[in-house]
Structure formats: structure tokens, C-alpha cells
Amino acid sequence: MVSLSFPQFHFHLFLIISGLGVISTVESKTHWGDAQVLKELKNKIDPSSLTPGSCVSSWNFTVDPCDNLFTEKFTCGFRCDSVVSGLSRVTELSLDQAGYSGSLSSIFWNLPYLETLDVSNNYFSGQIPESFSNLTRLSRLSLSRNSFTGEIPSSLGSLSMLEELYLDNNNLEGTIPESFNNGLKTLKRLEIQFNNLNGELPKNFDSLKNLNYLDLSDNGVTGKLPEALPEFLVQISMRNNSLSGYLQPESFTKLKYLEVLDLSYNNFSGSVPFSLFQIPSLEQLTLSFNKFSSMNLASRYALDYLQSGLIAVDLSNNEIEGFLPMFLAMMPKLASLSMENNKLSGMIPTQFALKTVLPEPGVSPFERLLLGGNYLFGGIPSPLMALKPGSANVRLVGNCLYRCPLIFFFCQGGNQKSYQECKRFGHFIP
């Protein structure tokens, strides 16, 4: 038997204690609070939706989560990229699209280092947790394509570092919280489309200084479009709501980066502001299915539209009266124009035909020119008669062009009833 001297005994004891310390450190690599949230999340998911091979089904809390990430015990679903006081902190929680169901509302979301939370494309239900406000470092929150209900918590407005918020394709109701204006100063992308939201847009909406993408489509939002919008917006989509009133030119004059504007399927009325055609960056303008009655025409001194970047304009299915605005045929990049089903009258200007068939060098031709369902009369411009099949989609059906027999002169006389008679009895040009 080998006996140890007192110093040797202490040396071996030190090694044992040190070894135990290392083991202890490995076993508690993840902060206990973060591990608790992960456990709670798995417990709240309906067991029947934990299919084999999914991320959460692999989570095995007999071992440390962060220390065993990307192993068979914790295959995926989160990341631990921060170490604070020797402990790993969960920085990302992104679940796979495995059809998880259950409610997240009773979980106490205490993950102070979390930067990304993504549970999109699953079947989570219930209300959005108020405790999401604890996620103070969160920059991206995606709850898209689930079955969340109730109102959007105003507490989300306290997430001062949030840059992307996706709440689309759920069953949310109520209004957009006013707290968004004051708290979400860094927000760049807001998607709340396909919900059941109502009420008016928040006042001082332009306080979201960094917002560049906004989609509120397919809700029940009412009221007017704010007079001031965030100036760095690149895309605005608010189609299929119940917005109304006039579009104020001042709403768009500061939008120097706007590329897409879609306000279709609403109840806007009055004139289409000419300022929309003076935004150099704007490429797509969709105002169809509203109640616009006229267009503000270009001043002879306002030639901004010559620098317009518009490629596609859709003003169909409104109540726009008057002649076809000449400046639309002079926009150099405009390739698609739809003004179908309005109340336009007069003859088709030759410039529209020339742009379709014989555009000037550096000018985009009309690849899509839809003018049907109006009260246009007179002869079809001769360049259009030489249009080769398949070269452009030109639709003039439902007007009162020169092939309307006998009734043509009534149409030319300018009487609306005669237009209707012509459209009813005349021969329409496809």
C-alpha cells in the first residue's frame, strides 16, 4: 500500500476538486434561466405535434443545451453565441416548420440576450405573450403564418432594438398600437398583412424614421392615409382595406426612396395626385379598385415625369373621367399601363400608339396597354393597326371606336348616354 505525504495528499485532492470543477462547468454551461425557457417551450408544445426528426422533438434536457447543440440531443432550433460570466446565453431561437401547435402565452420569456425569435409557419395559437417585452435585445421577431389571436400587445412597442416584425397571416384583431410610434425607432420592416385588424393608422406614423417596408394589406383598416409617412419607405402595401378620403400630395413629396406603392381595393376618392408621377425612384404604382374620379394633370412647366422610373401603373376600375393623360405616353420607362373600366373619353392619342409600336431610342415600349371599358371614340391610331401578333398586349374592348356603326356620331357628341348605347350596341375592338 502506497502512503501519501501530507503535501502529496493535498495535491491529489486539488486535482480531484479541479476536475470536478471542470465537470461542473461543462454541465452548467447554459445559463439556468435560458435553459428553463427552452424546457418550458417544449412542455407547452402539443406532444402530438412533436414529429420525429423535428428540432424540438430532439431536445433532451438530461444534458446541457448549449454544450450539446447540433448533437443528437439538441439537433437544432436555437443558437448560443454569447458567453456572459462564463455561462452561454441563448441568442437565437428559430424553430423549424414542423407543424408545432400549442400556446406560447403562458411562457415567461426571460431571454435577455435573444436577438432572433422565429416560430413562423407553424400552428401556434392563443395570444401573443406580453412577456415578449423582456426580450430587450431582440432585433427580429417572426410569428408569421400561425393562428395567433387577440390584439397586438402594446408592450411590443418597448422593444427598442427591433428591426423586423412579422405578424402576418394570423387572426389578430384590434388596432396597431400607438406604442409602436414611440418605441420602435429602429424598425425597418413591418408586415401585418392578412389579419383582422381595424381602426385607423396610428397618429405620427412618420416617427418610425427607419421604416422602409410596410405591408398592412388584407385587413380592415379604416380612415385616411396619414399626411406624413416615414421618409425612407421603399415599399408600401395597403391593398384590400377600408381606407378612404383623398390622397394628399404632401404625403408623398418626401418619399425619395419609394419603389412600390399599392393602395388598391380601398375607397380612396378625388384626384390621383400628380406628385406620384414625380417620384424618381417609384417603379410600381397600383391604385386600382378605388373611387378616384380624376387625375391631376402635368403642368406645362413640370417635366419631372420625364425622369420618372415608373415601369407599371394600374389605375383600372375607378371612376376617372376626362381624356387620356398625354404625359403617360411620354414616361420613358413605363411599359405597363392599365386604365380599364373607368370613364375616360376622347380619342386615343397617337403618342400611345407610337410608344407601343415605334418607341424612340432609350424609351421602353408599352408591352401592356389596357384601355378597355371606357368611353373612348374615334379611329384606332394607325400604328396600332400594324401591331404584330404577340408583340404587345393591347386591349381596347368595350369602348366606342370608329367601327361602331351608325351610333358613332352619337358617341362623338359627348353624351354619356350615347356612350352607353354605343357600348351596348356597337362593334367593340379587341
**pLDDT, tens digit (0-9, with 9 covering 90-100), for 402-417:** 654 333 333 434 444 4
SS3 45: strand
Predicted local distance difference test score (pLDDT) of residue 386: 84
Q: Indicate if the pLDDT at residue 70 is higher than 90.
A: yes
Predicted local distance difference test score (pLDDT) of residue 237: 98
The mean predicted confidence, pLDDT, of the chain is: 87
For residue 366, CA distances in Å to 27, 45, 145, 287, 337 come to: 68, 54, 38, 19, 7
Q: Indicate if the pLDDT at residue 65 is higher than 70.
A: yes
SS3 353: helix
Cα 133 to Cα 34: distance, rounded to the nearest angstrom: 16
Predicted local distance difference test score (pLDDT) of residue 411: 42
Q: Indicate if the pLDDT at residue 26 is higher than 70.
A: no
CATH entry 3.80.10.10 includes domain 87-423 = yes
Averaged pLDDT, 351-356: 94
Q: What is the pTM of this model?
A: 0.86
Q: Indicate if the pLDDT at residue 6 is higher than 50.
A: no
- The dihedral built from the CA positions of residue 62, 68, 69 and 70, taken in this order, carries a sign that is negative
Q: Indicate if the pLDDT at residue 8 is higher than 70.
A: no
Q: Is 373 left (phi over 0), alpha (psi -120 to 50) or beta?
A: left
Predicted local distance difference test score (pLDDT) of residue 13: 38
Predicted local distance difference test score (pLDDT) of residue 300: 52
Q: Indicate if the pLDDT at residue 2 is higher than 90.
A: no
Averaged pLDDT, 323-331: 93
Of the candidates 123, 124, 112, 184, which has an alpha carbon nearest to the alpha carbon of residue 153?
Answer: 184
Confidence bin at 122 (pLDDT 50/70/90):
very high
Residue type, 8: Q
Averaged pLDDT, 132-155: 97
Confidence bin at 430 (pLDDT 50/70/90):
very low
Predicted local distance difference test score (pLDDT) of residue 302: 56
- Bridge partners (DSSP) of residue 79 are 92
User: Which set of grid coordinates corresponds to residue 266?
Assistant: 380601398
Confidence bin at 28 (pLDDT 50/70/90):
low
Predicted local distance difference test score (pLDDT) of residue 182: 86
In this structure, the strands spanning 92-94 and 78-79 are antiparallel
Task: Summarize pLDDT for 158-184 with one digit per residue, the tens.
Answer: 999 999 999 999 999 999 999 999 889
- Which residues are CB-contacts of 46 (< 8 A; sequence separation ≥ 6)? 100, 101, 102
Averaged pLDDT, 237-247: 97
Averaged pLDDT, 232-259: 95
Q: Does 225 or 3 have the greater pLDDT score?
A: 225
Dump strand ranges (E) for 80-217.
Answer: 82-84, 87-89, 92-94, 101-103, 116-118, 123-127, 140-142, 147-151, 164-166, 171-174, 189-191, 196-200, 213-215
Q: Does 26 or 300 have the greater pLDDT score?
A: 300
- Which residues are CB-contacts of 386 (< 8 A; sequence separation ≥ 6)? 357
Averaged pLDDT, 228-234: 95
- Which residues are CB-contacts of 20 (< 8 A; sequence separation ≥ 6)? none
Confidence bin at 231 (pLDDT 50/70/90):
very high
